[in-house]
């Protein structure tokens, strides 16, 4: 298990490992598509099932360490509502969920846009995915170190909105380009988009952990995951209607959406952070006072 001081870095390392797996999986799936036989597809599906079983077997012997919660944390837990009634944390969850739309821009909007609106060859979409995966693997942990506290992460979220807006405007240009220029612009888009992704996910790790009470991280993380989860469910309809159905105008509107989302995420996170600091100080003082009185009386 990772300690409090290391949890953002550990989360970034986990995401890096996930992207390595996605990259390898993409290559294997691409090989199956090239071979295009029943045996190749069966091999991919069966191999995926075996890997799931292997991953489950690795977790069988994992022991969870239980630690005694400090008295201050116990007092806070008695007075504190659950995460579903922590409205500032819910605001962070919702705003971060809006920014998380970028995940579906890469996995859903990009392939359909490349196939139906841009003149780039089909292999260029795979090239963009590979560039994105390599950059995330190389720089995710390094980027996460810049989001070690909420104020820094909030600043990253604001900048992320701007970066994603630039990426949207860059993609809008591809509709009027020939094949060669389109590939070049897609490469540029991949770099711009990945910078935004690195910063957004780094800020997201901090937003999920830091405003939440240390003794209730499990419950709060479960609620925080609802933001990106709901967005993943809504994203295909939203992107198909807003972007793919309106072309350049749609990408421009999406740029505005990301600008506003970055500001909302930053503002909500700072508010939740200030509220947590304000809440914890009185609790610590109230527990410290009886101890001081007992020392004086003795």
Distance CA 248, CA 168 (A): 9
170-199 tens-digit pLDDT: 999 988 888 889 999 999 999 999 999 999
CATH of the domain at 214: 1.20.1250
| Residue 2 falls inside a structural domain | no
Total domain count, the chain? 1
Q: Indicate whether 27 pLDDT > 60.
A: yes
Provide the b/e sequence for 53-67 (b: ≥16 CB within 10 Å).
Answer: eeeeeeeeeeeeeee
For residue 119, is it within any domain? yes
Does 55 fall in a domain? yes
| List of residues 6+ apart from 204 with CB closer than 8 A | 96, 99, 100, 228
pLDDT-based confidence at residue 214 (cuts at 50, 70, 90): confident
pLDDT tens readout for residues 97-147: 999 999 999 989 998 898 888 888 877 888 888 899 899 889 888 888 888
CA distance 257 to 119: 26
- Non-local (6+) Cβ contacts of 82 within 8 A are 216, 219
Beta carbons within 10 angstroms of residue 232's beta carbon: 16
For residue 296, tell me if it sits in a domain.
Answer: no
DSSP H/E element including 26: helix 7-35
Provide the residue range defining the domain that includes 70. Answer: 7-288
Residue 71 lies in a domain: yes
- Look up the pTM and report it: 0.76
Q: Is residue 165 assigned to a domain?
A: yes
């Amino acid at each position: 298990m990772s300690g409090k001081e290391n949890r953002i870095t550990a989360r970034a390392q986990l995401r890096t490992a996930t992207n390595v797996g996605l990259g390898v999986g993409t290559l294997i799936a691409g090989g199956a598509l090239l071979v295009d036989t029943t045996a190749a597809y069966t091999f991919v599906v069966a191999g995926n099932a075996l890997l799931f079983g292997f991953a489950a077997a690795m977790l069988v012997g994992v022991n969870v360490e239980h630690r005694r919660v400090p008295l201050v944390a116990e007092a806070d837990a008695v007075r504190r509502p659950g995460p579903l009634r922590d409205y500032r944390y819910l605001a962070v969850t919702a705003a971060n969920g809006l920014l998380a739309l970028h995940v579906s821009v890469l996995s859903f909007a990009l392939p359909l846009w490349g196939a139906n609106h841009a003149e780039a060859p089909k292999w260029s979409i795979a090239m963009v995915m590979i560039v994105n995966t390599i950059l995330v693997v190389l720089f995710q942990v390094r980027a996460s170190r810049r989001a070690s506290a909420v104020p820094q992460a909030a600043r990253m979220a604001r900048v992320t909105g701007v970066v994603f807006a630039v990426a949207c405007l860059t993609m809008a240009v591809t509709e009027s380009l020939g094949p060669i220029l389109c590939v070049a612009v897609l490469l540029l888009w991949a770099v711009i988009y990945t910078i935004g992704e690195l910063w957004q996910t780094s800020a997201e790790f901090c937003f999920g952990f830091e405003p939440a009470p240390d003794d209730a991280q499990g419950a709060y993380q479960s609620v925080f995951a609802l933001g990106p989860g709901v967005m993943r469910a809504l994203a295909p309809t939203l992107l198909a209607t807003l972007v793919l159905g309106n072309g350049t105008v749609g990408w421009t509107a999406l740029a505005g959406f990301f600008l506003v989302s970055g500001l909302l995420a930053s503002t909500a996170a700072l508010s939740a952070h200030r509220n947590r600091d304000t809440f914890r100080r009185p609790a610590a003082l109230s527990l410290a006072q009886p101890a001081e009185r007992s020392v004086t009386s003795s």
